[in-house]
Structure 1
């Protein structure tokens, strides 16, 4: 193909090569053939350990695929460390508590991981106790019931009245604080409540109930955790 460019009276002929359909088809077939050869000789041995020609093994490509394969049941996977978190601590022992995660590293066999019963037992420190008390809230008055607890220990609780609902504030007061600060965890009016608490700080934690009726209301409170009763 010829094109003519006219600029300032000068004429320049530029010849642009045009490939025929046959030439393009030959180039496409040649590229496909090269890609197929690379696939068979290099990619299949290196990625999938498939070596129909044997060239991949000679070049060490099959070893690459073997290094990347981990058997479904690999006995070399072990448990090195069981992380103990969110547990009740006693005597400064931070290793007791709920098993939250298992790190798969070289170490003890996975079969040695603790059972469900052992995990539940690990949450129990020697200081964990359970109590059930009844508390009479006088008519028209309020009453507090407190537990002394360290920071980051777990408490489970449940209480109910003998019928009438009570206004209550479930809160905690930091140990040694003289400013009157306290942190409320739940404030409402109800005739029963069940829940748990991980203490944010050391101090007294408990309930303030307000009886707005004309008769005594009895509260039955069940608690379980690492605490001392302040009353």
Structure 2
């Protein structure tokens, strides 16, 4: 008869130890508040080490924007070989440091050249001397691509696209970030 009270007392003590000490230390669960008072809840948390932001980055790592980001889904028609030799450009205007998330897909494989350059109008008006800067970010052939761009310069950023089929293709382009839809869709004419 003495065994049952001893088992009951042992189970009660084990439950109290589990709730007061094991749960806060191992799982971060602190129903009694004793874990926070004794520092046991910090045993479950990862150790934090403060580090300085990366140096020599040409833009702010985290910065607020005056305007909310925007999202667009655009259907871009890429003509067949009989229309401008299947070539087209889709461009956006961005400021240096602005971020763009993009994803595009096409039912046919397209050649793409994702690039950026200074605003041609500002360059023509003498805003800068010398040749216009052009940067290629990615090129290739694909049915789809996605990624992120932090604009390295103020100017025009976008895709040169080429379709090697006779029939036109509709490419679906998803955008999110800080950009302006312009100068917009530019069809390339035949080069002599």
What TM-score range do you get, normalising by the shorter chain?
0.5 to 0.7
Max radius of gyration: which structure?
1
The equivalences for 1:50-199 within 5 A come to 85-87=60-62, 95-96=63-64, 125-140=66-81, 141-161=86-106, 163-175=107-119, 176-178=122-124, 179-199=131-151
Paired with 2:80 and 2:164, the residues of 1 have a C-alpha distance of: 7
TM value normalised by structure 2: 0.56
Computed over aligned residues only, the root mean square deviation of the Cα atoms, in angstroms, reads 2.4
What is residue 156 of structure 2 aligned with on the other side?
Answer: 204
CA drift at 1:127: 3.9
The one-character-per-residue Cα deviations of 1:184-212 (angstroms, maximum 9, x if unpaired) are 00000001001000010100100010011
Higher RCO (CA < 8 A, seq sep 6+): 2
Equivalent residues of 1:127, 1:227 under 8 A apart: no
- Given that 2:80 and 2:166 are in contact with CA atoms closer than 8 Å, whether structure 1 keeps it comes out as yes
Aligned pairs, number: 117
| Deviation string, structure 1 residues 208-230 (Cα, Å, up to 9, x no partner) | 10011111111000000111101
Q: Which ranges in structure 2 are unaligned for 5 or more consecutive residues?
A: 1-38, 43-51, 54-59, 125-130, 185-192
Deviation at 1:180, TM superposition (A): 4.4
Aligned equivalent of 2:28: none
The TM-score, its normalising length taken from structure 1, stands at: 0.47
- Alpha-carbon displacement from aligned partner over 1:104-148 (angstroms, at most 9, x marks no partner): xxxxxxxxxxxxxxxxxxxx6524100000011000221011110
1 CA distance for matches of 2:97 and 2:157? 12
Distance 1:228 1:127 in 2: 12
Partner residue in 2 for 1:49: none
User: Whole-Å Cα distance in 1 between the matches of residues 132 and 87 of structure 2?
Assistant: 18
Contact 1:129 1:225 in 2 (8 A): yes
Q: Distance in 1 between matches of 2:87 and 2:132?
A: 18
